[in-house]
Amino acid sequence: MKTSRKYLFISALFISAFISSCKNQDNKKEPVGTNQIESPTKMISKSAQAAKIESSKVCYVNNKFMGIDQIPVVFEGKTYYGCCPDCVGKLKSIREVRYSKDPLTGKEVDKALAYIVLSPQGNNDVLYFESEQSYKKYFKFHKK
């Protein structure tokens, strides 16, 4: 009886792992381990010594750090990133999706040119700053 429960449990685990696994958008096979989310600390800009994250790992529509490279969308000579075909369409057609406001200055920021960091609010949200200096001033006054 215990053996059959053990096999049932292992089978259920295998099936749920199989069902919940995601396929690459382009249906390309990736080597094992390449789709794991990297720690944001590995993506910190060493020259800036700040929390800047790679823009290619952010969905600009959802304003979320995704941890893996997103779909590049070239629009008017600048590259934006989306996580799915729907986001790609929005980036191409909706101007407001390509822009944000700098949390410090309130100025409009083109996301393709922004200094992007993880939000202190968590949940993988990101903030877009017009510059590294703007980011440093903001967090100097907003530390917890």
119: tokens are: 């939000």
Q: What is the pLDDT of residue 42?
A: 42
Asked if 126 and 112 count as a contact pair (C-beta separation under 8 A), the reply is: no
Residue 25 in this model has a pLDDT that exceeds 50: no
Residue 34 in this model has a pLDDT that exceeds 70: no
Query: Which amino acid appears at position 70 of this protein?
Result: Q
Q: What is the mean pLDDT of residues 112-135?
A: 94
Question: What does the mean pLDDT of the chain come to?
Answer: 76
Instruction: Name the band, by pLDDT with cuts 50, 70 and 90, for residue 63.
Output: very high
Instruction: Name the band, by pLDDT with cuts 50, 70 and 90, for residue 2.
Output: low
- 79-114 pLDDT, tens digit each: 999 999 999 999 999 999 999 999 999 999 999 999
**What backbone phi and psi angles, to 5 degrees, belong to 22?**
-100, 150
**Residues 17, 46: Cα–Cα separation, whole Å:** 36
**Residues 133, 144: Cα–Cα separation, whole Å:** 19
Q: What is the mean pLDDT of residues 122-137?
A: 94
Domain boundaries, the chain: 50-144
Q: What is the mean pLDDT of residues 38-62?
A: 67
Residue 118 in this model has a pLDDT that exceeds 90: yes
